[in-house]
Amino acid sequence: MAIIATINYTFLMAEKDIISKDIIKRLIEDISKYLFNLDIISLEVLETQTQRIEERRADIVVLVKEANREYLLHVEIQNNNDPKIGIRMLRYLTDIRLQWPNYDVEQYLIYIGKDSLTMANSIYSNGLEYHYHLIDMHEVDCKNFLQSNKPDALIIAILCDFKGRNEREVIHHIIRKLKHYHQNNEKGFRDSMAMLEILSLNRELQKVVQEEETMLSVRIDELPSYNIGLEKGLEKGLEKGLEKGKVKWMNAGKMEVASKLKQKGYSIADIIELTGLDQEQIEKL
């Protein structure tokens, strides 16, 4: 299990670590395609075992079949810069090879942390030359993940490089697609938003995520943050219940939301869609 930061966010960091591994495991085929550039025919997630006293299992081990090759893919998720990561990766390699001695192993370390990457991808010492693949999510273009219709892939996009894209527009896009995907599954949408909020901490985008939740008329009473700072008058303007996937706003609340959206540069078409107001009302603002 990857080492995690422990300062004032111990629970959130642990939650983020678990969530990111779970997402990677569900998206291992897409990850292999977009991050590792592997041409996979089939894969099978394997359970690792260890006889060590301490519990120290590799995050994800997958049996991969390509056209001319069959091997084990080991993926490790790292949320902070660990100066001993090389030794840990080497130990994982020996454990995996002992459990499956007939397979070659390809190792990938995916760094999702907030700080700039400082870890090396190799060890060179007396009698030892060892290296593994290292992926820094800060440098991965978010394009492929944003284009995906899989909610987990959309969530991972928040960890990637936006490549000059406006961060608010990217997050707006992610939440809108999550809402569309989960339009008949409120629990699924809440779970996806919880993942998005937790991973947004790594890029210091939690405030933008929370603001976009508000602007997209998300039911704030069912979100994990529920501290997105709506004024009391605006909160009273919310009616419970969804109609075609949109929260109904009382007239006063609609006008206030429309005003804020207009100030932030949203188009009239978007404001109409989000609030249900007509063009004449919006133009009068």
How does pLDDT run across 188-217, given as a tens digit for each residue? 888 888 889 888 988 999 889 988 877 775
pLDDT number for residue 15: 55
| Cα separation values, 156 from 47, 111, 120, 224, 252, Å | 24, 12, 23, 18, 36
pLDDT band at 56 (very low <50, low <70, confident <90, very high): low
Q: What pLDDT is recorded for position 227?
A: 40
Helix (H) or strand (E) holding 79: none
176 pLDDT exceeds 50?
A: yes
Query: What pLDDT score was predicted for residue 212?
Result: 86
Residue 139 scores a pLDDT above 80: yes
How far is 79 from 113, CA to CA, in rounded Å? 4
Least confident of 75-89, 200-214, 240-254, 268-282: 240-254
- Terminal-to-terminal C-alpha distance of the chain: 53
The answer to pTM > 0.75 is no
pLDDT at 141 over 90: yes
Pick the more confident residue, 222 or 72.
Answer: 72
Q: Which residue has the higher pLDDT, 179 or 2?
A: 179
Q: Is the pLDDT of residue 22 over 50?
A: yes
C-beta separation of 56 from 50 below 8 A: yes
pLDDT band, very low/low/confident/very high, at 28 (cuts 50, 70, 90): confident
CA–CA gap between residue 43 and residue 40 (Å, rounded)? 7
Mean pLDDT of 69-88: 93
Give the pairing of strands 128-131 and 122-125. Answer: antiparallel
Mean pLDDT of the chain: 77
Structural domain spans, the chain? 10-139, 141-229, 237-285
CA atoms within 13 A on the CB side of 253: 20
Alpha helices in the chain (DSSP H): 10-26, 28-34, 85-99, 143-147, 151-156, 167-181, 186-200, 206-215, 232-236, 251-263, 268-275, 279-283
- Per CATH, the architecture of 237-285 is what? Orthogonal Bundle (1.10)
Mean pLDDT for the stretch of residues 178-182? 90
CA distances from 95 to 28, 51, 57, 70, 92 (A): 21, 9, 9, 19, 5
